[in-house]
Homo-oligomer: A and B are copies of this chain.
Amino acid sequence: MTVDLSPEPAVADLARRTAQFVREVVLPLEKRQRSAAPSEAVRRELQDAARAAGLFAPHVGPEYGGHGLDMRGRAAVFEEAGYSLLGPLALNVAAPDEGNMHLLEAVATDQQKERYLRPLAAGDLRSCFAMTEPAPGAGSDPRALATRAERTSGGWRIDGRKWFITGADGAGFTICMARTSGSAGDAGGATMFLVDAGNPGMKVARHIETLDESMFGGHAELVFDTCEVPDDAVLGEVDEGFRYAQVRLGPARMTHCMRWLGIARHAQDIATRRAGERELFGSRLGELGMVQQMIADSEIDIAAARGLILRACWELDQGDPAAQSTAIGKTFCAEAVWRVVDRSLQICGALGVSGDVPLGRFLREVRPFRIYDGPSETHRWAIARRALRRQASELAR
């Protein structure tokens, strides 16, 4: 048994079929619709098609209709789905639902799984994950968590404000992270709560206008004001929320990377196609050295990102929290995808900034990924600290 980089045949087949589905079904639909944000009808249409093609929700277990893909398997399939901005939605592997399914599968009670995971995996409802808070609350620093949940008779009362809650508007339920011990600035203890849509104590305060526009349901500011939930709304154990957040965040970082890597490849394909056609100064664009340099650097970025994702996924699949390798993978990938899209747009020139190709759209969509799920700087800080600790412990030997 030694290093082997070939995916299992079943996964390879699923990835191949996903690529074909995206090319034949999703991209034509994406071209037809002008606005960035898909409608509920489009979501239904796409998901029905994916279901018919046997590609739906491939990451959840067979008991929920999926293929039980491990992280390495997701790496192969989600990259193909991500080739279109709508591909992950079609396969029901888009954020935040995909990460929520992962979390629920790992942590929820059987009853909670029936009530929340099953319809979510089936695409019958959507969900959101309410962790991030406006400054000075929880963002890069989770210990700054300010939303509080207090025990009441028979349950909990949540008060606080969240923002950048993707997909909150129209979500069937929200997983809300609230402080249940300690105070803002401490680690203390946090708990995750399942809050049903329609709870009168939870309101969408506003849609936040953002540079990106393609996330289904957008990004909302949510207010929890005397939001009462019963005891069985607790997901997992009380005060264990920070730990569960890691269960969700490590893999979720990687699945984000996989999807955005698909967009990077799409951008590179547009650029290389253009470079193969367009004549300039008596040469094909693709024969000009500065264009070749951009194309090559993007090939390198894509290959390096894929290698880092695979490494982190393999570690996660071994049961390792993979904190260092997911942070490395996320940071590199977020920056690399951005560079690839930027170069592709540059290669296409004026065409690139026009709506005739989707590169301006891609640029807008991938820019926030250098901030969402932890800004590159926060990850670098954590990466460096681990490197320093490793060195210190080697010296101490």
Chain A contacts to B: CB under 8 angstroms: 1-8, 11, 72-73, 132, 135-136, 139-141, 144, 163-164, 185, 208-212, 268-269, 272-273, 275-276, 278-282, 286, 288-293, 295-297, 299-300, 303-304, 307-308, 310-311, 313-314, 324-325, 328, 331-332, 345-346, 349-356, 360, 363-364, 367-368, 370-372, 375-377, 379-381, 383-385, 387-388, 390-392, 394-395
Q: What is the predominant secondary structure among interface residues of chain A facing chain B?
A: helix
Chain B residues positioned under 8 Å from A7 (CB to CB): 2-3
Q: How many copies does the complex hold?
A: 4
Tell me, rounded to whole Å, the shortest Cβ–Cβ distance linking A342 to chain B: 8
Excluding A3-B314, A350-B372, 10 further A-B contacts by CB distance (< 8 Å) are A2-B72, A163-B350, A209-B354, A211-B364, A269-B394, A273-B395, A275-B388, A293-B384, A307-B307, A364-B364
Chain B residues positioned under 8 Å from A208 (CB to CB): 354-356
Chain B residues positioned under 8 Å from A395 (CB to CB): 273, 276
In the complex the two chains form, what is the Cα distance from A370 to B349 in whole Å? 9
Kindly report which residue of chain B lies nearest to residue A219, judged by CB atoms: B354
Name the one of B132, B275, B289, B388 contacting A290, with C-beta atoms under 8 angstroms.
B289
Inter-subunit contact B293/A377 (CB<8 Å): yes
Inter-subunit contact A303/B325 (CB<8 Å): yes
Chain B residues positioned under 8 Å from A211 (CB to CB): 353, 360, 363-364
Chain B residues positioned under 8 Å from A387 (CB to CB): 268, 272, 295-296, 299
Q: A292-B381, A350-B371 are contacts. A310–B139 as well, Cβ < 8 Å? A: no
Name the one of B286, B377, B391 contacting A388, with C-beta atoms under 8 angstroms.
B286
Inter-subunit contact B279/A136 (CB<8 Å): yes
Chain B residues positioned under 8 Å from A324 (CB to CB): 299
Chain B residues positioned under 8 Å from A8 (CB to CB): 1-2
Kindly report which residue of chain B lies nearest to residue A3, judged by CB atoms: B72
Chain B residues positioned under 8 Å from A282 (CB to CB): 185
Chain B residues positioned under 8 Å from A269 (CB to CB): 391, 394
Inter-subunit contact A210/B354 (CB<8 Å): yes
Tell me, rounded to whole Å, the shortest Cβ–Cβ distance linking A133 to chain B: 10
Inter-subunit contact A281/B141 (CB<8 Å): yes
Name the one of B5, B331, B372, B383 contacting A314, with C-beta atoms under 8 angstroms.
B5
CB-defined A-B contacts under 8 Å, sample of 14: A3-B5, A3-B72, A132-B350, A135-B278, A139-B349, A164-B350, A164-B354, A269-B391, A290-B381, A296-B331, A303-B308, A304-B308, A345-B367, A353-B368
Kindly report which residue of chain B lies nearest to residue A185, judged by CB atoms: B282
Inter-subunit contact A346/B360 (CB<8 Å): no
Chain B residues positioned under 8 Å from A295 (CB to CB): 383-384, 387-388
Inter-subunit contact A380/B296 (CB<8 Å): yes
Chain B residues positioned under 8 Å from A367 (CB to CB): 345, 353, 360, 363
In the complex the two chains form, what is the Cα distance from A269 to B202 in whole Å? 36
Inter-subunit contact B286/A288 (CB<8 Å): no
Inter-subunit contact A140/B280 (CB<8 Å): yes
Chain B residues positioned under 8 Å from A72 (CB to CB): 2-3
In the complex the two chains form, what is the Cα distance from A178 to B279 in whole Å? 20
Chain B residues positioned under 8 Å from A377 (CB to CB): 288-291, 293, 346
Chain B residues positioned under 8 Å from A310 (CB to CB): 3, 5, 307
Name the one of B311, B353, B380, B390 contacting A212, with C-beta atoms under 8 angstroms.
B353
Chain B residues positioned under 8 Å from A288 (CB to CB): 289, 377
